[in-house]
Structure 1
């Protein structure tokens, strides 16, 4: 199925009590690992434009389908998707390859995991590159509780937690339509509709804007979620308040060199206090929406490669 562009065949690797489906490039560059972590509702295939570019400049590129996705394990317990488990999978992956540390790159939820991983296991991370989702400040209230107050019960993070199984069923029953309607670019600005955004997308007859990818590329995502269903991946959201508690005693400051790439048309707001929590962060803004590395692959690659080169010369 992964045939619309040159994409490596996966291997299944047993780590941390689960099996992860892992795609690699640049194995000949052993010793210089970079791990790419996808978001929701994505797949390792979302990094297809970055893998060869990173391998070409000397990286061993490791791209897992994280737990709940693709052909990786989908544990039944909701708590098996908390930040300790998700970051533990990545640490175990480093151990499997015999690496002390690596550069970690995350997009969307993958960025959330990379921030959390860096807080929990700072010695296993040498550099951080995150797209779309900036560092999330841990305030006095758990995240879902805060979102419910500010954004209401229909906000999809809150809905996933307060109405377990409802959205999962709608997305499972409308997988193609949901993903087709979600993966768009250059969408016209419009007023938010009432109701839950992801359910609305799954039920919408016609997509807005332009398709982000070709039909054969979209088919990779559709076939993966038709096989796996959405519950495992949505369970990541169901651990936000648990993660808030798990991070209570962790030093919140990340001293690692970090690159934050924003899409100027992304719905996710930029974090004004990024430098307070990540003092060595450099920020790049691209003229695109949420799906940064797929919408602007060349510009994303240039930003990443330029920054990595600067770090290597420091």
Structure 2
């Protein structure tokens, strides 16, 4: 891996093994955990890891279950929010930490939100990138998306046509990831069908590359080895997660930083302060891949917020 990314260790937690990358072990006692999204890898945090370690943090970056060289259970239900948050709790236990700030991007943010709801005593701060807190609502999430966005919306498609997208992505791994990891993508009219399947089959990418060839190769190599089903199984638990969170206090009480990309297609949460009352919001001029597209600005936003919180 490039940029002197740490060598991994394998850690047994919660019935699985996670591939974990660490930096700043000399800062033991001051942890921070970084959680990637889909279809990502711990390597997506490569720009933030050295800066956080230099700032005095013990930086812990797992490839979560289904990714990289971490375990990939067969059962779909092994990827629900109870299992995913349980992995992170067990990771804290492994290192002997009662709690930590957690940083999550994309699906990693969803997991951190869920972790904070299910195990509030283990989280002392939340940093979410791109994906804001999701209100639970009256209707299960996939049912709601199907009614509003249709059967071809990728969340719905992953659930209603299991295995179809997985196979297309695996047949076109390099092309899919090359076409997906872009910045400054011009607006385009919606096309029929599943947008991500269309993207995986598109011969020419739009916009500009997000990373150089050697960085992209890390992601391509990982998914050529694992396939995409483990990560997609996270989507296949959305309605199960909706049910698992039915009786949980829905308010996030921890100090929180929400980082949005101004050109991110993921919608902002208009009612975020109602559910996350102690939230600060930062917006960066970028798309969805926030910490990779704007690495310095993202790192500065996180470090500034952490420092302000420590001084409070």
TM-score by length of 1: 0.99
Aligned residue number for residue 181 of structure 1: 179
Q: 2:34 aligns with which of 27, 36, 43?
A: 36
Aligned residue number for residue 259 of structure 1: 257
Q: 2:129 aligns with which of 128, 131, 147?
A: 131
Question: Is there any run of 5+ residues in structure 2 with no aligned partner, and where?
Answer: none
Distance in 1 (CA, whole Å) between partners of 2:205 and 2:3 is: 24
Aligned residues: 312
Whether 1:84 aligns to 2:82 is yes
Aligned residue number for residue 220 of structure 2: 222
Q: 1:12 aligns with which of 10, 13, 19?
A: 10
Q: Equivalent residue of 1:235, what SS?
A: helix
Task: Report the alpha carbon displacement of residue 163 of structure 1 after superposing the two structures with TM.
Answer: 0.1
Question: Is there any run of 5+ residues in structure 1 with no aligned partner, and where?
Answer: none
Aligned CA-pair RMSD: 0.4
Aligned residue number for residue 101 of structure 1: 99
Aligned residue number for residue 280 of structure 2: 282
Aligned residue number for residue 196 of structure 2: 198
Aligned residue number for residue 65 of structure 1: 63
Q: Equivalent residue of 1:118, what SS?
A: helix
Task: Report the alpha carbon displacement of residue 223 of structure 1 after superposing the two structures with TM.
Answer: 0.2
Q: Equivalent residue of 2:248, what SS?
A: coil
Aligned residue number for residue 297 of structure 1: 295
Aligned residue number for residue 152 of structure 1: 150
Distance in 2 (CA, whole Å) between partners of 1:191 and 1:279 is: 37
Aligned residue number for residue 169 of structure 1: 167
Distance in 2 (CA, whole Å) between partners of 1:95 and 1:300 is: 28
Distance in 1 (CA, whole Å) between partners of 2:50 and 2:187 is: 34
Q: Equivalent residue of 2:237, what SS?
A: helix
Task: Report the alpha carbon displacement of residue 198 of structure 1 after superposing the two structures with TM.
Answer: 1.1
Task: Report the alpha carbon displacement of residue 194 of structure 1 after superposing the two structures with TM.
Answer: 1.0
Distance in 2 (CA, whole Å) between partners of 1:301 and 1:81 is: 29
Deviations 1:240-283 (A, max 9, x none): 00000000000000110000000000000110100000000000
